[in-house]
Structure 1
């Protein structure tokens, strides 16, 4: 149940950020931002929040989330961007990744306070 709550918080944060940056700033549809939110949320939760954050620290996990957000938005934006030039798409991905990284930095404090991502949650001990 704790993971569901964490995913819900992350999902709400992600959809708000992506819609504000991509939807309002670069004319992506709500459906496109929702699709990116689902992909980015699941991938960054598993990799950044449950794998990188417990092994290293908040700053490294935030940088990893920045890179991951940039790649997901940029790569998924290519077929979804509705005629944006490659430079504008990269700029959209950069803006989204910066804002996402700021949100992730604070989300990681929540993850650490709930001790999510500790080895007991991600590895089977015997």
Structure 2
């Protein structure tokens, strides 16, 4: 149940940030923004929040999320017909804004001890 709550928080954060940056800033339709939100949310939750964050640090996971966000937004925007500079620029601004949100979201994830391999397990191991 904690993962459902975390995904809901992440989804709301992502749609708000991406709509502000992509929708209002670059004229993406709400449908395109929603599709990018779903894909980015799933990829970054699995990779950044559940896999990288518990094994490294908030900064490392945030930098990974920055790269993932840029690639996902850029690649999807290219498939949606946004060509050249605007898609890269939109992806850059979206990735930077998402990184700020992710950095804060990671504190929630660490506080709830969510992840495939968490810090508390590592601290309490006696092997």
Give the TM-score normalised by the residue count of structure 2. Answer: 0.90
Structure-1 residue corresponding to 2:97: 99
Distance 1:119 1:7 in 2: 18
Please report the RMSD computed on the Cα atoms of aligned residues, expressed in angstroms.
Answer: 1.1
- Indicate yes or no: 2:35 matched with 1:35: yes
Give the TM-score normalised by the residue count of structure 1. Answer: 0.90
- Indicate yes or no: 2:112 matched with 1:114: yes
Q: Which segments of structure 1 move beyond 4 Å, counting only runs of 4 or more? A: none
Structure-1 residue corresponding to 2:88: 90
Question: 1:118 deviation in Å?
Answer: 4.9
For these two proteins, the number of residue pairs brought into alignment is: 118
Distance 1:69 1:87 in 2: 17
For structure 2, the residue ranges without an aligned partner over 5 or more in a row are 119-127
For structure 1, the residue ranges without an aligned partner over 5 or more in a row are 121-126
Render the CA deviation track for 1:29-63: whole Å, top value 9, x for unaligned.
00000000000001100000000000000000000
Distance 2:100 2:80 in 1: 25
Distance 1:114 1:69 in 2: 23
Question: 1:80 deviation in Å?
Answer: 1.4
What is the correspondence of 1:48-87 to structure 2 with a 5 Å cutoff? Answer: 48-81=48-81, 84-87=82-85
